[in-house]
Amino acid sequence: MTHTDADGMNTVKDGLTIPAQRTRTRGAVENKEFAAFTRRIIRAHARRVAAGDVEALSDLTALSAAVDQAITDAVIGLRAFGYSWTEIGDRLGISKQAAQQRWGGGQR
């Protein structure tokens, strides 16, 4: 089925044509929003434990170790990316020496 557009050209209804393949784009996840989401989940988990689930207390405690490891991984990645101990320490509110002592592992 064809139609005539304003210029007198024959056109085909949009619904009858196969749309061009579209690539799905991934929306950017903002780090601050992601961190806020993570904090909400941890607080919700703590409320469940506090409501009487004593068995889940060890799971909540294990999250602390997981966060510590995540910070270590992040610092190692930032150093590999070229960030200085001063920049890392500034973001964490500690001195460059404290950052290097905690995560340096012999790196200078």
Chain-centre distance for alpha carbon 18: 36
Q: What is the DSSP string of 64-77?
A: HHHHHHHHHHHHHH
Nearest-5° Cα angle at 45, 39 to 50: 125
List pLDDT tens digits, range 18-50.
Answer: 555 555 555 656 889 999 999 999 999 999 999
Quick one: pLDDT at residue 11?
A: 67
Q: Which residues contact 103 (CB under 8 A, 6 or more apart)?
A: 71, 72, 75, 76, 79, 88
pLDDT digits (tens, 9 = 90+) for 43-81: 999 999 999 999 999 999 999 999 999 999 999 999 999
Domain boundaries, the chain: 29-103
Highest mean predicted confidence (pLDDT) among 6-10, 12-16, 35-39, 103-107: 35-39
Contact 66, 41 (CB under 8 A): no
Q: Is 96 left (phi over 0), alpha (psi -120 to 50) or beta?
A: alpha
What gap in Å lies between CA 3 and CA 47, rounded to an integer?
63
pLDDT confidence of residue 30: 86
